[in-house]
Amino acid sequence: MLTKNQFDILEFLSDKEDKISQRKIAEYLDISAGTVNKTLSELIKAGYISENKLTDMGYDALKPYQVKRAVILAAGFGSRLVPITLNTPKPLVRVKGKRIIESTLDALIAAGIEEIYIVRGYLASQFDDLLYKYPTIKFIENPLYNEGNNIGSVYIAKEFLKNSYILEADLLLYTPSLIKKYQYNSNYLGIPVEETDDWCFYLKNNYISKLTIGGENCYKLVGISYWTEKDGEQLSKDTEKIMNSPGGKERFWDQVPLELCKDNYKISVRPCKQEDIIEIDTFNELKEIDKSYLC
């Protein structure tokens, strides 16, 4: 098994064609030059790197960390985007000519993740149009989409959570490289903020320790997470348990690993920036981004 530093350097170099300096590696990974030098020496000795490029053995070492699939949660109504969602599911709303969900699909495919499941519910048949551009995607029907919150969608897709991304379908992804081909451990994307009134979480010993609505000096929750084989299997069990408990259908799925069953997981954060990803919550926000809706 690779150490975290070994993985980070191999993952960083895995898609680089040109030789990268140790200084650049240190800057990108935000680790010391000494740590980079030491870790590179370990990787060279193991035969994983030659001249700061991955060898075949290096790519083989990354294979156990390759993301196998993605589950996109797209069943909801999108009530805050009324009136446009009266006739169109929110993920299929076009922003500057492109459906919102396409930014996520394009990033997944660019990362080599071809096993993609879309959990659909509201106006489900409209998602069939995606098959013309993305013929390999598969749909999972959620008949419970109007009976509770998004925990129902994760419950319906529970057999596909291992080695998998779970993504909200209404995120406009401006930095596709956030979707990586390899992942070391279970994690959430989070935006460091001084203050927010949205869902957010706090860290303790580098792992998510508390989930709240609103907070200060915390991470704003972004609806993209990754789950290892072990954690994905546990998440499947815990989601089923909460779904079948009193009031379970009213929960948001993130509450399962981050609040209700948090002792079963060690989940880290992958920091990102506000400009990397946008969730369009209201019709007014949509009009600000795409002026064509002002007409």
- Do residue 220 and residue 260 come from a single domain? yes
47, 64, 81 — which closes off a domain? 64
Residue ending a domain, among 15, 39, 64, is 64
User: Please, which pLDDT band fits residue 130 given cuts at 50, 70 and 90?
Assistant: very high
Residues 38 and 148 in one domain: no
Q: What is the pLDDT of residues 190-226, one digit of tens each?
A: 999 999 999 999 999 999 999 999 999 999 999 999 9
pTM here is 0.95
The string of pLDDT tens digits covering residues 170-195 is 999 999 999 999 999 999 999 999 99
- Taking the CB of residue 138, how many other CB atoms lie within 10 A of it? 11
If asked whether residues 81 and 52 sit together in one domain, one would say no
User: What tokens appear for 149 in the block?
Assistant: 């919150």
Q: Are residues 156 and 39 in the same domain?
A: no
Residue 260 makes CB contacts below 8 A (sequence gap 6+) with: 238, 242, 251
Q: Which residues contact 97 (CB under 8 A, 6 or more apart)?
A: none
Q: Which of 26-40, 96-110, 220-234 has the lowest mean pLDDT?
A: 26-40
Specify the pLDDT at position 266. 97
CA distance 165 to 155: 15
Instruction: Tally the domains of the chain.
Output: 2
Q: How far apart are CA 251 and CA 256, in angstroms?
A: 8
Query: Are 21 and 89 within one domain?
Result: no
What is the domain-level CATH number for residue 58? 1.10.10.10
Q: Same structural domain for residues 98 and 191?
A: yes
- 39 & 114 share domain: no
CATH number, position 252: 3.90.550.10
Instruction: Let me know whether 207 and 194 are in one domain.
Output: yes
**Mean pLDDT calculated for residue range 26-49:** 92
Residues in the chain: 295
Looking at the fold, whether 118 and 47 belong to one and the same domain comes out as no
Q: Does the pLDDT at position 295 exceed 80?
A: no
pLDDT band at 52; cut points 50, 70, 90: confident
What's the pLDDT score for residue 68? 98
What's the domain range around 49? 4-64
User: In which region does residue 112 sit, left (phi positive, over 0), alpha (psi from -120 to 50) or beta (all else)?
Assistant: left
Q: Are residues 44 and 112 in the same domain?
A: no
Indicate if 33 and 170 belong to the same structural domain.
no
Least confident of 25-34, 178-187, 228-237: 25-34
Confidence of residue 70 (pLDDT cuts 50, 70, 90): very high
Whether 104 shows a pLDDT value over 90: the answer reads yes
**CB-based contacts of 203, cutoff 8 Å, min separation 6:** 209, 219, 269
pLDDT of residue 8: 95
- Condensed to tens digits (0 to 9), the pLDDT of residues 243-258 reads 999 999 999 999 999 9
| Mean per-residue pLDDT over the chain, rounded | 94
Residues 55 and 176 in one domain: no
